């Protein structure tokens, strides 16, 4: 298969070979730590499973294929993947990151890597002028997350890539919220794509797994070295589950997007709702960027109910029956969250409210159920 596959075929066949031993159509779960050698060094390409494992390799090839990249790496979690990216840097290096950031990434940056001499600057990337005051000779990495969580801001990846063109600065994109179906940052010029594959890629809320995809050979060799040297790899079973999830990514994403669009429009017309955050609305501040850089608007949205406070929002999420109240996102089942008391509770209220994250905000990860049942559930919970 030399010709580049279309996305909806790459999810199923991309980078895959049939099993050479028995012709198994699905990649077997090679639950082994080591491999027999006929003479010292005489092996079939696999020596020890921290370094390489055939099931993980099948997943890594699939990841590269669906992200239009050359090299894929799978890790034990999304955070382990981010950890590997930061290990490319040296004390004194500076990182510019989106301020509306996944809480776990923020914690890893501030509580672990700051102590190793890295310096992080957090800015709103909606306005490129904000880079002027923070970018300097020590800047080595720009960390982008788009759409942002939970305010659904859209950041222009291509514009940021152009801004640092020719400089010794890497651009990395956390592509978890969009998934490879909706957005392909490498094709927009980014150097590194990261996924919490725990979410849309695996898609069934049954595995924790992280991924990095790159195009540059030298950079990929360094990431491969870090993956093996630090050892935060995923096991064969988790690799298998993620690979299986990826095979239906395109059909799941189509339904996630369709259902989220229907719900966003339903909420927008509901007189009890104050505001809906979803990049598909024409009056969303970054709608045009979303339209050009994304294939669709995704399965995530947030909303605020009129007159609701902290407790009223909690009551609404507690009344939901089909939407499960839980952390995480991207599974086939719908989830609801209350950021002010859950994912973003550690951020002070005044800080939260600066970006619009009020106490009444509710975040939905819209699943692939029949959308009529989801709307009925919201209707009864909002009251």
**Could you list the active site residues?**
50, 102, 174, 199
Q: In angstroms, what is the minimal distance from the CB of 153 to ligand PLP? A: 13
Which one of residues 208, 233, 246, 317 is an interface residue with ligand PLP (CB under 6 A)?
Answer: 208
- Looking only at residues 117 through 146 of this chain, which bind ligand PLP when binding is defined by CB under 6 A? 145
Total number of residues that touch ligand PLP (CB under 6 A): 16
- Footprint of ligand PLP on residues 168-197 (CB under 6 A)? 174, 176-177, 196
Between 77 and 305, name the residue whose CB sits nearer to ligand PLP.
77
Tokens of residue 198, six digits:
């725990």
Q: Taking CB under 6 A as the rule, which mask of x and - marks residues 90-109 in contact with ligand PLP?
A: ------------x-xx----
Mark residues 73-92: x for contact with ligand PLP by CB under 6 A, - for none.
----xxx-------------
Please give the Cα distance from 368 to 337 (Å, whole number): 17
Tell me which residue has its CB nearest to ligand PLP.
78
Asked whether position 62 contacts ligand PLP by CB under 6 A, the answer is no
d(CA 95, CA 113): 11
Q: Which residues contact 362 (CB under 8 A, 6 or more apart)?
A: 302, 303, 304, 305, 313, 316, 317, 336, 337, 338
How near is the Cβ of 226 to ligand PLP at its closest, in Å?
16
Q: How far is the CB of 198 from ligand PLP (least distance, A)?
A: 4
Residues between 341 and 360 with contacts to ligand PLP, criterion CB under 6 A? none
Among residues 56, 199, 284, 344, the one that binds ligand PLP under rule CB under 6 A: 199
Nearer to ligand PLP, 28 or 104 (CB): 104
Q: Which of 15, 210, 279, 367 binds ligand PLP (CB under 6 A)?
A: 210
Which residue number, 55 or 176, has a Cβ lying nearer to ligand PLP?
176
Query: Least Å distance between CB 44 and ligand PLP?
Result: 31
Q: With contacts defined by CB under 6 A, name the span among 72-80, 126-134, 226-234, 307-315 that binds ligand PLP.
A: 72-80
We find the least distance from the C-beta atom of residue 277 to ligand PLP, in angstroms, to be 16
Sequence-distant (≥ 6) Cβ neighbours of residue 121 within 8 angstroms? 94, 95, 96, 97, 134
Do you find a cis peptide bond into 364, omega within 30 degrees of 0? no
What are the residues binding ligand PLP (CB under 6 A)?
Answer: 77-79, 102, 104-105, 145, 149, 174, 176-177, 196, 198-199, 208, 210
């Amino acid at each position: 298969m030399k010709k580049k596959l279309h996305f909806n075929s790459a999810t199923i066949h991309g980078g895959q070979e049939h099993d050479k031993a028995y012709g198994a159509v699905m990649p077997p779960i090679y639950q082994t730590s080591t491999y027999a050698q006929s003479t010292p060094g005489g092996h079939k390409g696999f020596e020890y499973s921290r370094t390489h494992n055939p099931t993980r390799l099948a997943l890594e090839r699939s990841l590269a294929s669906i992200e239009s990249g050359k090299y894929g790496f799978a890790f034990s979690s999304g955070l382990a993947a981010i950890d590997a990216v930061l290990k490319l840097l040296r004390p004194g290096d500076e990182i510019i990151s989106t301020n509306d950031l996944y809480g776990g990434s923020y914690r890893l940056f501030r509580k672990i890597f700051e102590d190793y001499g890295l310096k992080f600057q957090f800015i709103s990337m909606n306005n490129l002028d904000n880079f002027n005051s923070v970018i300097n000779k020590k800047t080595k990495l720009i960390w982008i997350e788009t759409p942002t969580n939970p305010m659904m801001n859209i950041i222009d990846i291509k514009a940021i890539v152009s801004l640092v063109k020719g400089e010794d600065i890497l651009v990395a994109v956390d592509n978890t919220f969009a998934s490879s179906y909706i957005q392909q940052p490498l094709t927009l010029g980014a150097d590194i794509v990261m996924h919490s594959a725990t979410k849309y890629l695996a898609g069934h809320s049954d595995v924790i797994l992280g991924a990095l995809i790159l195009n540059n050979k030298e950079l990929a060799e360094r990431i491969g070295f870090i993956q093996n040297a630090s050892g935060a790899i995923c096991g064969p079973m988790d690799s298998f589950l993620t690979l299986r999830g990826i095979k239906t990514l395109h059909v799941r994403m189509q339904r996630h997007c369709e259902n989220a669009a229907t719900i966003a429009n339903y909420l927008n017309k509901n007189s009890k709702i104050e505001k809906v955050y979803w990049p598909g609305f024409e009056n969303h501040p970054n709608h045009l960027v979303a339209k050009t850089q994304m294939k669709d608007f995704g399965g995530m949205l947030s909303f605020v109910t009129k007159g609701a406070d902290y407790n009223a929002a909690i009551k609404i999420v507690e009344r939901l029956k089909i939407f499960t109240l839980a952390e995480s996102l991207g599974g086939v089942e719908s989830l609801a969250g209350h950021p002010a008391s859950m994912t973003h509770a550690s951020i002070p209220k005044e800080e939260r409210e600066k970006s619009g994250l009020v106490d009444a905000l509710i975040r939905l990860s819209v699943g692939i159920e029949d959308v009529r049942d989801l709307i009925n559930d919201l209707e009864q919970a909002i009251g």
